[in-house]
Chains A and B, each alone.
Chain A
Amino acid sequence: MKTDFKKIATDGIITNNPTLKLVLGTCPTLALTTMAMNGIGMGAAVTFVLICSNILVSLLRKVIPSKVRIPAFVLIIATFVTIVRLLLDKFLPDIYESLGLYLPLIVVNCIILARAESFASKNGVLASAADGLFMGLGFTIALTLMGAVREVLGSGALFGIKLWDFQIGFFAQSSGAFFTYGVFIALFAFASNLIANKRRKLSAKQVDNTKEVQ
């Protein structure tokens, strides 16, 4: 079976963006987007876990009995999360500190479990690895953008560099997180609807043209 990597890529980043389209993994999205750097750190950690767990689940998909598949998936994910935690603690203690509780909570992150369940347990190893990579990228991009917006508005800085003294405290608080998230989902839906409509019109035109030729 030939795997369509282009489709997997657009699926992960745009059409099925885990944060903005599937609304999965909202807990870290809301809690950690106070700074853009947090988005990158969290995104990288999740992407790593996602790729590894997707590969392992895909390898073991014919061995794991379907009745106990969820505990098995969680066990696999927990293993990789532990590896990430130990690595970050050793080599990047700053990020480890700022991610705090949300790092061990990756174990129960819906995105990873959802991809293991709906993609990796049905597809080959390479396709699963690619899916993990692009899903993780979609998550990282969404989190970093949200973090950047909230950091600029809420604390007047970007990636920790101070821009100005003006701050709107609302965006640094949890209510601002919900607000920013809602606005992002709305804008994303608006943009994707616009593109879809344009494509539909284009393809309709093409059909018309071919009819005329005939």
Chain B
Amino acid sequence: MADKIYKFSSSPHVKAPTTTTRIMQHVCIALMPACIMGIVLFGLNAFLILALSVLGAVASEFIYLLIVGKKFNEIIKQFDFTSCVTGLLIGLSIGSQVPLYVPIFASAFAIIVVKMIFGGTGKNLVNPAVTGRIFAFMSFTSVMASGWLLPSIASLSGGTSLSPTTGATVLTNLFTNGVSTDLSILDLLLGTGLAGCIGETCKLALILGGIYLAVLGIINIGYPVIYIVTTGLITVCLNGFNFSYFLPSILSGGLVLGAIFMATDYTTTPNTTLGNIIYFVLLGAVTAILRHATGIEVVSFAILLMNLFVPLIDKFVINKPFGYVKAKKTKGA
């Protein structure tokens, strides 16, 4: 975000055409492969959920701004695509089995309570999409956390797909039964034959989107990689240094989606490089440990928890100004 850089660097300043709106449009484009794969794998219901969550997010932003007394033309002029991104992320991070009111409630909560009340784009304390998803998860636990549907494309390796009646995702299976041989790494990468949220099963589409953002310089690809690798390594350590856990643990659940698109939100990450490294390593540790302790997917909870630590990290990790010499301690008084 442009203002952020101005605040933390001295002159000279370079004027660039990058604006919040432009960045958010790029993020939308980067999310498209995941959306398309979600619709291909889970069908019409996935499309409806995605559409409703985006519509809900944009509509609630408009309604809020109208209530606080902005003119309609003004709102359209100031519209940046942040609420679109929030809506898309919410749609991608809930399962295709939920009733259609769930994405609307989640989007409305994310935009109105988490974003607008705190002052709009760039002022939110925690990531709106993550919080909206958690709101939906806590409110409609019975539909959000069970009854996962299997995608229309069966497992490529010929292994048995997980039965939807058990309501288990690959991740819960991994923790209860250990590494299974039913689904190959290729299946995990493509999302074929495995149940889960709309956007999280096809890792390849997410990674493509991540590479797109990294090439444009919108996100630093190092940070998601730190997060994912830390989670994988700590999961390995927690399971008695069994390295067969590494790939399944990072390729199942919402880790890739959360790491690339949710944890890298500008507003809720520290300002400095060292701060970011601390943040993403801690995020990975929290995710792996909580996953191990609870046996369910906790990426969204981990991101929410660590978002709250960002101000603290920013307080203690400060960039050294250029040419700054530490004042020598004078002995005695």
Contacts and interface: CB of A to CB of B under 8 A. Distances in A.
A104 interface: no
Contacts of A169: 138-141
Interface string A159-170: 000000001111
A206 interface: no
Nearest to B117: A186
A192 interface: no
A175 interface: yes
Interface string B130-146: 00000100111100000
Nearest to B105: A168
Contacts of B135: 170
Interface residues of B, number: 7
Contacts of A173: 138
Contacts of B138: 169-170, 173, 175
Interface residues of A, number: 8
Nearest to B138: A170
B209 to A, nearest CB: 30
B126 to A, nearest CB: 13
A170 B105 CA distance: 11
Nearest to B140: A169
A169 to B, nearest CB: 4
Contacts of B141: 169
A105 to B, nearest CB: 26
A179 B138 CA distance: 14
Nearest to B136: A170
A170 B110 CA distance: 13
B322 to A, nearest CB: 43
A171 B138 CA distance: 9
Nearest to B144: A169
Interface in A40-96: none
A79 B141 CA distance: 44
Contacts of A175: 138
Contacts of A167: 139
A173 B38 CA distance: 32
A159 B139 CA distance: 21
Interface string B103-147: 001000000010000000000000000000001001111000000
Q: Which of B105, B113, B139 has the most CB of A within 10 A?
A: B139
Nearest to A175: B138
B200 to A, nearest CB: 22
Interface string B179-194: 0000000000000000
Contacts of B105: 168
Q: Which of A167, A168, A179 has the most CB of B within 10 A?
A: A168
B74 to A, nearest CB: 23
B22 to A, nearest CB: 34
A168 to B, nearest CB: 4
Nearest to B135: A170
A168 B141 CA distance: 9
A179 B135 CA distance: 12
B286 to A, nearest CB: 19
Interface in A113-167: 167
A150 to B, nearest CB: 13
A188 to B, nearest CB: 16
B48 to A, nearest CB: 19
Interface in B91-110: 105
Interface in A169-207: 169-171, 173, 175, 179
Nearest to B109: A170
B71 to A, nearest CB: 22
A28 B141 CA distance: 26
B130 to A, nearest CB: 14
B107 to A, nearest CB: 14
Nearest to B113: A179
Contacts of B139: 167-171
B61 to A, nearest CB: 19
A167 B135 CA distance: 13
A131 B221 CA distance: 63
Interface of B: 105, 113, 135, 138-141
Given A167-B139, A169-B138, 13 more contacts: A168-B105, A168-B139, A168-B140, A169-B139, A169-B140, A169-B141, A170-B135, A170-B138, A170-B139, A171-B139, A173-B138, A175-B138, A179-B113
6 contacts: A167-B139, A168-B139, A169-B139, A169-B140, A170-B135, A170-B138
